[in-house]
Structure 1
Amino acid sequence: MPLETLSAPSLYVENSIPTFSREAPFANVLMDLQTQGWSVQDQFFSDEFTQALMDEVHGIDHANMQQAGIGRKQDHQVMLDARRDYIQWIDPDRPIRRDFLKVMEELRVALNRRLFLGLFDYEAHFARYEKGAFYEKHLDAFQGRSNRVLSTVLYLNDDWQDQDGGEFVLYDERETDNVLGRFYPQRGRLAIFLSEAFPHEVLAANRTRHSIAGWFRINNSTGQIVDPDQ
């Protein structure tokens, strides 16, 4: 069998895959964020681009993922009563990962131009929730104490059914027991919301669930302290 035939299923050449499923792909996201602070968009990326990301996360050996925790750097703690997902941070070391980060950089620029958020960078990880795994209700950032401004979640699951569970539940920023929406982790669905404003949770699923979680951040570095990533 020729070498190129062996490698073709996992080979994604940069910029060879159509990225978006629509013209002006950021328009609805920008409008929603401006008017309500959150947005959920189905089929945000093209089917080919979503499939490439799905192939990437499904191909990660579980031994190469780490148990997710709470906090950053030296404050990081594994708390299994709060969350039970496994993650792998996305570095630009493979073509599809580079392409994803490039696209989110384009979105960062658009967000700054339209909403004047002063976003500095974007970080993201693949997330794997095995059957029964969850993430309890929480905020991604606390007012005045974090550099995370906007959170994103892209879902990478085929043929998700209602009985599979695993919903992303978004709560009102003021009446925090009021549910704004319950969203199943369907293929290609993107959620984006203000990190300090909206409590949210991931309900336990009845099958393994994959996504990309990410954050647009501001730069909190000072002359004395370098703002860490991840």
Structure 2
Amino acid sequence: MALEITPDITEQLLDALVCQGWFEWPHAVTDELCQALLDEVQFYDEEGALQKAGIGRGQVHQLNQEIRRDQIKWLNGSTLAQTTYLQQMAQLQYQLNRALFLGLFEYESHFALYKSGDFYKKHLDSFRGQANRMVTTVLYLNPNWQSDWGGELVIYDEASSCQLAVITPEMGKLVVFMSEQIPHEVLPTRKERVSIAGWFRCNNSIGGNIDPAL
């Protein structure tokens, strides 16, 4: 179930990050691993183990249902599926550091569950110059996603605010983008929608980052 970071995919990913700041990678993670991770989220939901997501970090963290409505649970590597996924992200971190010299040394991630009607308005994952969250990843865990279910990830141009991409949250798709450069939002979903949002970090500073779930 290893992430297949072939030379061709690596070149496409790196070129896209440098030239446009984001990359959409369909079928990056196997359906088998995605289903195992999805099963965990459904179990956590049934057990009431998910928490309402907020915005801000540290002392300024707050809940705001007008900006985002989703539930999260942080990955801690406590299951085989989580460990496998985190190992795959470690492979990606190695490739990013080797090619782009970003100095990434830590990865954090959480499950994000959006119920029908949930959304997350336009935001950035990290403020410029904080050198905290540098690269964002989003893995989608939704089998047989239909176009009329909503829940797309919209990527915007930072300077013009024009839409650059509207990405459907299909199982196995991985989206990678520069945290400080890419404004984005999650459109309201009409079907339960699950993902894993993650961030490669350069230091342990709390800073002023948004606490996103995509």
Same fold by TM (over 0.5)?
yes
How far residue 20 of structure 1 moved from its aligned partner, in angstroms, is: 3.3
Give the SS at the match of 2:44: coil
Give the SS at the match of 1:33: helix
Give the SS at the match of 1:87: strand
How far residue 28 of structure 1 moved from its aligned partner, in angstroms, is: 2.7
In the alignment, is residue 59 of structure 1 matched against residue 43 of structure 2?
yes
Counterpart CA distance in 2 for 1:108 and 1:23 is 14
Identity %: 47
Counterpart CA distance in 1 for 2:36 and 2:6 is 20
Counterpart CA distance in 2 for 1:26 and 1:52 is 26
Counterpart CA distance in 1 for 2:97 and 2:188 is 35
How far residue 74 of structure 1 moved from its aligned partner, in angstroms, is: 2.4
Counterpart CA distance in 2 for 1:110 and 1:55 is 29
Q: Which moved more, 1:128-137 or 1:64-73?
A: 64-73
Residue 12 (structure 1) aligns with: none
Residue 174 (structure 2) aligns with: 190
Mapping for residues 27-106 of structure 1, pairs under 5 Å: 27-62=11-46, 63-106=48-91
Give the SS at the match of 1:60: helix
1:60-79 per-position Cα deviation (integer Å, ceiling 9, x unaligned): 23510000001123221111
Counterpart CA distance in 1 for 2:103 and 2:65 is 34
Counterpart CA distance in 1 for 2:45 and 2:152 is 25
What is the RMSD computed on CA atoms of the aligned residues?
1.9
Mapping for residues 12-31 of structure 1, pairs under 5 Å: 18-20=1-3, 23-24=6-7, 26-31=10-15
Distance 1:65-1:146 versus aligned 2 partners, 3 A rule? farther
Letter in 2 for 1:163: D
Larger RCO (alpha carbons 8 Å, 6+ apart): 2
Size of the aligned set, in residue pairs, is: 206
Residue 189 (structure 2) aligns with: 205
- For structure 2, the 5+ residue unaligned runs are none
Mapping for residues 2-17 of structure 1, pairs under 5 Å: none
Give the SS at the match of 1:59: helix
Give the SS at the match of 1:30: helix
Mapping for residues 110-149 of structure 1, pairs under 5 Å: 110-145=95-130, 147-149=132-134
Counterpart CA distance in 2 for 1:107 and 1:39 is 13
Counterpart CA distance in 1 for 2:149 and 2:29 is 23
Counterpart CA distance in 2 for 1:31 and 1:57 is 33
How far residue 220 of structure 1 moved from its aligned partner, in angstroms, is: 4.9
Contact map agreement 1:168 1:185 (CA 8 A) in 2? yes
1:56-110 per-position Cα deviation (integer Å, ceiling 9, x unaligned): 2222235100000011232211111100000000001111111111111111111
Counterpart CA distance in 2 for 1:220 and 1:96 is 26
Contact map agreement 2:3 2:88 (CA 8 A) in 1? no
Q: Structure 1 length normalisation: TM-score?
A: 0.83
Counterpart CA distance in 1 for 2:3 and 2:31 is 8
How far residue 19 of structure 1 moved from its aligned partner, in angstroms, is: 2.1
Distance 1:81-1:33 versus aligned 2 partners, 3 A rule? same
How far residue 173 of structure 1 moved from its aligned partner, in angstroms, is: 1.9
Distance 1:166-1:83 versus aligned 2 partners, 3 A rule? same
Letter in 1 for 2:90: E
Residue 160 (structure 1) aligns with: 145
